[in-house]
Chains A and B, each alone.
Chain A
Amino acid sequence: MSAPKVGNLLSSKLDAELTPLLTVSAVSKAFGGLQALSDISLQVHAGEIFGLIGPNGAGKTTLFNALTGLYSIDRGEIRLNDARLDGRPPHQVLQAGLARTFQNIRLFAEMTALENVLVGRHARTTSGVVGAVLRLPGTRREEADSHERAHALLRRVGIAQHADRLAKNLPYGDQRRLEIARALATEPSLLALDEPAAGMNKVERAALRELLLQLQADGLTLLLIEHDVKLVMGLCTRLAVLDYGVKIAEGTPDVVSRDPKVIAAYLGDEAI
């Protein structure tokens, strides 16, 4: 009785690892004469933590912005499951299941932490002006549900005590956590994090790492830009390395860290 269950679990886990969730095919983007992304292709599989690394100006954030609809792309195709994401506005990309955080934290500064997370519920709720003004039963239920979920998310990322404080007055590390909670409120299937550990101290980094692993354990797929090599190597199942808008390597952290092109990109050609 228990043996097939284990077998099922294993095979479903293997299946999950092989299911491409995000497929980026030959994406290019130029700003004037600057080729920011050239023919980038990569696949992020369901359930993994996929790292995106590279020197400053390599095009990591540009790729994030292209994925999330903030930039239009010149060529190529972006798919989440079977849905085309390219050419769609940001709110539709999010609706399809791709949420993100920003490198330079972009919270709604003058809203409370709770309200920030409630805004994250916007895409998954429907009540409009009439419902709000008349406070119809459906709207009331939806609001109660949103509040409950928002509180739960604040607890989950560990900042429940800040629920009624303005986002701008939260400590730096907690602002990063709040941004993650807001993104989670949109019920994404893929969460893209742009340098979530930037500016964090050692303790905050360890806590963040713990949180990301928990999210992965709960079935969320993560796409991560990060400069902290130690964090990336310990956390990511696979990595892609960008340099001058070109993907120069992809694979497990072990393989990537030994790749001569990667070493050259990070340390300069003379180092080899």
Chain B
Amino acid sequence: MSSVLSLNKTQPHWLVFGLLALGLALLPFLVDAGLGRSWVRLLDLALLYVMLALGLNIVVGYAGLLDLGYVAFYALGAYVYAWLASPHFGLHLPFWAILPLGAGLAGLFGVLLGTPTLRLRGDYLAIVTLGFGEIVRIFMNNLNTPVNLTNGPQGINLIDPVRLGGVSLSQPHTLFGFTFSGVHLTYYLFLLLTLAVIFISMRLENSRIGRAWVAIREDEIAAAATGINTRNLKLLAFAMGATFGGLAGGLFASFQGFISPESFNLMESIMILCMIVLGGMGHIPGVIFGALLLTLLPEALRYTGDWQRNLFGQIYVDPADLRMLLFGLALVAVMLYRPAGLIPSARRRQEFADAKG
């Protein structure tokens, strides 16, 4: 096997793009017909996780900063949306105004939380960011007194659904003789934003900024000695990641109509990190695949309950337990057999090929 590898990407044919676009456009209808409405909803959620995972991928995958408190920015985006579009404060600002605001504020918090961690690396950084994540969650849990900001553990209810140009995504709409349900319309909105996040990630990866991030990940001292302002670029990575997190948070709040601190616990941060590790760290297709897999697979495993009942007449293993068991096994298997992730980047593939050959 030749160890020389070209990282030049061949341009895919426009036909491939066309088919992909058509497939993505028809997907919710196929899923609806084949698996039911609840799976379309799940598809929406999966797209949210793709955005989240791509955001964290900038911090962890590119810049190599192990951030275990990423969910804090997700929470922030969600709460900003809830505050400005729910009866909680009686504010009902339009969707297009809140979403950038929440994302921007999350980005700002990314810089604020990133600043004190600049000198930390590896395990220490992970512990401190984990602490930040928990601090934000605990704040949300307790900020119902003296001023009721977050409504505490009860969370904020009746959050406005997305309304764009007079079209509310909570009701079905008929267009060109087709009836689009709310979850279908949400799918298209989320898909559009996910594509934007993918596009931004791709452009950044192959840029001066992206190379500087990877250089910092590979060797921070050499990066500094090669002229990279490591402080600013690490903060930029935190800010970019947090912005995507805040964006996903705002969408989540509008999608669910209800948020509470419980949705933003440590497990959530770890799940998003697992999506990246499982799919292929620093590699956009891998991260997308990891996010889709970890969102959809657990739901698919719920069916095992029905199978058990049909086969044995009773349920021996609770599907929820089985889910975590299989999930754990899958992670162990990936670490053993595909340590670079299920869809590793070309450079990582080469690295492992060279190590074998």
Contact = CB atoms under 8 A, between A and B. Distances in A.
The yes or no verdict on A and B being binding partners is: yes
Interface string A179-216: 00011001000000000000000000000000000000
B219 A108 contact: yes
Counting chain A CB atoms within 10 Å of each CB, the highest count among B6, B207, B229, B350 belongs to B207
A111 B214 contact: yes
Contacts of A119: 211-212, 215, 223, 226, 228
B107 to A, nearest CB: 11
Nearest to B6: A164
A90 B223 CA distance: 9
B351 A102 contact: no
Given A127-B208, A132-B210, A186 B351 contact: no
Interface in B144-159: none
A91 B212 contact: no
A69 B221 CA distance: 11
B207 A132 contact: yes
A94 B227 contact: yes
Contact of B226 (A109, A123, A134): A123
A118 interface: yes
A95 B247 CA distance: 36
B22 interface: no
Interface residues of A, number: 47
Interface stretch (A26-34, A152-160, A165-173, A251-259): A165-173
Contact of B7 (A89, A94, A164): A164
Nearest to A109: B218
A107 B225 CA distance: 11
A133 interface: yes
Interface string A232-260: 00000000000000000000000000000
Quick one: which of B3, B222, B236 has the most chain A CB within 10 A? B222
A122 B7 CA distance: 20
Interface string A60-72: 0000000011100
Contacts of A129: 204, 209, 236, 240
A122 B347 contact: no
B5 interface: yes
A164 B223 contact: no
B6 A115 contact: no
A72 B225 CA distance: 14
Given A109-B218, A111-B215, A165-B3, A127 B207 contact: yes
Interface string A7-40: 0000000000000000000000000000000000
Contact of A122 (B199, B208, B350): B208
A108 B209 contact: no
Contacts of A70: 221, 224-225
A102 B221 CA distance: 10
Contacts of B215: 108, 111, 119, 122
Nearest to B353: A169
B142 to A, nearest CB: 36
B92 interface: no
A125 B229 CA distance: 13
Contact of A111 (B5, B218, B227, B240): B218
A122 B227 contact: yes
A89 B220 CA distance: 13
Given A110-B348, A164-B5, A132 B214 contact: no
Contact of B221 (A106, A120, A128, A183): A106
A164 B4 CA distance: 7
A143 interface: yes
Contact of A168 (B229, B230, B351): B351
B203 interface: yes
Interface of B: 3-8, 199-200, 203-204, 207-212, 214-215, 218-219, 221-230, 236, 240, 347-348, 350-351, 354
Give 4 nearest A-B pairs by CB, closest first: A123-B227, A132-B207, A106-B222, A108-B218
Interface of A: 68-70, 89-91, 94-95, 99-100, 102, 106-112, 115, 118-125, 127-129, 131-135, 139, 142-143, 146, 164-166, 168-169, 182-183, 186
17 contacts: A91-B227, A106-B221, A108-B223, A109-B218, A109-B219, A110-B347, A118-B211, A119-B215, A122-B211, A124-B227, A129-B204, A129-B240, A135-B203, A146-B208, A164-B7, A166-B354, A169-B3
Given A111-B347, A135-B203, A139-B207, 11 more contacts: A99-B225, A107-B218, A110-B218, A110-B348, A111-B218, A120-B226, A127-B207, A132-B209, A133-B199, A133-B203, A182-B226
